[in-house]
Structure 1
Amino acid sequence: MRPPADLRDRQHSPYRWVILAMVSLSGFVTMGFPIAGLSALLSEIAASLELDLIQIGVIWGVGMVMGIFTTFIGGSLIDHFGTRRSLVFMCLAAGVFGSLRGLAVDFWSLLLFSLLYGTLQPVLPLNFIKLNREWFASRQLGLAAGIMSLGFALGAMMGSGFSATLLSPLLGGWRAVLVAFGLSSIVMAVLWALLHPPVERRPGPGLDLRQLVIKARRVAGFRELQVIALAVFGAVGLMQGIVGYVPTYLRAIGWASVEADSAIPLFFFASLVGVAPISHLSDRLGSRRPVMIFGTSMMSLGALLMFFADGDYWTVMLAMTVGGLCFDSFMAMMGASITEARGLDMALVGSALGFGGMLQNLGGSLLPPLGNTLSVISLNAPFLLWAAAGVFATGALLSYRGRGRK
């Protein structure tokens, strides 16, 4: 299958399915598997480098913190250089910086390499979302976003399950696994260079600080983008809090390690099952907003069930299923909705996604530790804060009555 001779006709070309397959594969290889894989390897890394719990938390959270500062700039660079050049460079650089983590000898060297990797890792998904918007019309964009998120979700589930138990013994330890993650990203850079058709670019103004400020003011002025960004702030904060706290909480109330560790994989499995059909539902409805509202409501309900579960096994499993069912579909709809915002030019899509990414990473960095501080009151109190974050996200979406898709 060949790319279309005229890229202006790409939304009608069969080659768009090749691009979508690459987007989903990239989400699996460069995002889902290595991020979840790192979480599974943290105990082995900590033992090797003699890290304490605080240092482990810093290494785990540094990417999201860096994303607060890099996503808008990265999104603007995607707009300026185009998705092809941005993807090739970012996959290549992320592969190199990600591999360097395998050479770390102590906390500080690991932190340095993680900071370098963290400047790029939060920006990579913005490329994938913009590519979907370039190659798919609104009538199929929900399905495309769902298939993209399917790659993320499948990678997260497999990365958390196989990185420590299979890959580490097979390759000889955590260092080799991190290097393998990096090399896989470099392979994706080569594939994008070969398969993404070159785009003739028109001369335009250079990208400097003044242009960044102008873009920031333009995208921040979109009421629709403000609402979506506030919603994703609450939803991602809820998810990060739940995923990080639940295993520790369940052990603290007396669950065995095997049972405690089974809760979060169920959360991700439910999300994996729901992502494609729920995302495609938005195409059938002609609107993303009802699907997003349903998603944030389900996440809030899951957190609330955890608050009232009191350690009951089946209630906890129900909470994880309910809370996880819509997460990846919500994230897919978030990206699609930003790219479809009324009046938003394609030349500003990356900047708009970066604006949403700032709030996403801020919520993911701020709300989990804020919830954890409530554990001194009661071990289940953090779930009440995260449920409130989901209600906040739902309220933000309800506050704006925008149009459906064209």
Structure 2
Amino acid sequence: MRHIVVVILVAFLAGFTSCNSSESSDSTENKENNLFISGTIKGANGQKAYLEAVSQNGVISVADGVIENEQFDLQTNIPGLGIYQLRIGEQPDNALIITAKKGDKIKISGDISNIAFGAKISGVEWGNQYGKYMELVAGFSKSQNELMALQGQLSQEELVKKYLELKKPMDEYAREQINKNPASAFNIVLSNSLMPATGFVDYPKENVETLRKMADSYEKNHADSPITQTLIQQVTQIESGYNEYEIMKTGKKPAPDILMESPEGKEIKLSSLKGKVVLIDFWASWCGPCRKENPNVVKLYNKYKNKGFTIYSVSLDTDQASWVNAIEQDGLIWPNHVSDLMGWKSFVIKLYGFSAIPHTVLVGKDGNIIDVGLRGDALEKRLAEILK
């Protein structure tokens, strides 16, 4: 479980640290030290302590030193606010995240057997936050392992719902702490909890507001850090995506038209179905979750086809035989099956802005989008509201 937690905390850092990794890799020779990290690590005598920047291109060493009498002392020069990994010894699990700015004197104490969870941090304003947040991360990781074991027993919608429930304490703590002190260096870590991990369905508006508050504060207080510019870009993208989703839900955004061929070579235009409620279902024969969802889609088609409902299935297959066989095997009896057999190179990916399938878009009788990302019980409930 320790390894999973390290991955959780480190994996998302690439987006931030790739911007400042080149600066971190610059030689610090002849530069005055402005970051000081020291401490006591029980059980680590004789091992090395490594301060590293994590980037998309790998790990870049910033400073290192041997732990003697369980004590270590690292000093280096940093260009400004940054995020780093302090690794003890050669095991990647034995690591913790450090957010640091010029002049910080950070003290760390802990035991090598539980350094990621149990480290105590002092000397910086976010020391207590680190301990509390790691408790929440540890609990979330344990519960997430248990949730993964339920795959196959629960529907995708049930899994997502439980995932969001498990994640809720982390989200609430992150929002509370960021709103209290939006300029805090540790917010780089806390903000990870507020990113839209499962799209914008059920994504809280207060997350957007908190992230914007943090970005504005960073722009004012940490303008010299590349992390700030990356954060601003990310928050702007999230705001744009959230606002786009909200517009879609109002039913005022027209569904971009699609013109593709059926397996028989007949051109079928999405707009030709105007006047009906249309479920655009992006899927593929090779997509396990798509195939698992198909019986539910068939059930809903049969239930509502006489009430002005139809389905426009867009396949991301590249092999026509596989596509046709899946249609027959899963009993997808509606007539509107199309594909350009371009897979993930299809123009519809950018046109509808999705990165995973199955993905659904619900279009009203007027041709405007009224919801996205619905499956299972959520889709059936929405159709029941519309097609009374």
TM-score, with length taken from structure 2: 0.25
Larger proportion of strand: 2
State which structure, 1 or 2, has the greater radius of gyration over its C-alpha atoms.
2
TM-score by length of 1: 0.24
Structure of greater relative contact order (alpha carbons < 8 Å, 6+ residues apart): 1
